[in-house]
Structure 1
């Protein structure tokens, strides 16, 4: 079972649907890991942009900050890119 992304939101909690857009440059990516206490990385086109550790219930939340305007293809995975999630696309507007 892969890592999943279940929500991307702004810092104030406004949800951004997959394929949606926002003017916020600081986002939160949350979802479910495979195991409790598992290291989770968030990547954009293969480059790490966030990192966190799953809670005991396997949920995680990672801050992704300082984003420039453009399209982001977020993927959550375990350390080393194992068990990757589906892509969650977000456009950060100028």
Structure 2
């Protein structure tokens, strides 16, 4: 992925449905910085609460706000918001 020239605003990889009980998931999560140039430190763990969002038609914050996935999504948004504000995108600038 590091050889792709997609730019800061176009790609910010993160792991979702992470199951730390699985060896492959643990290994890949541990190599996050090696695999991606600008990885997110947020990881969204596997959870039935995430699956229920679609079934219930409700956001995770309403279904299970204190769950690990909800915490992970808040962390991801916090990272994205900081970058957007720093780049001027959130302020209405084009880049």
- TM-score, normalisation: structure 1: 0.23
Larger radius of gyration: 2
**Bigger relative contact order (CA 8 A; separation at least 6):** 1
- Bigger proportion of residues as strand: 1
- Bigger proportion of residues as helix: 2
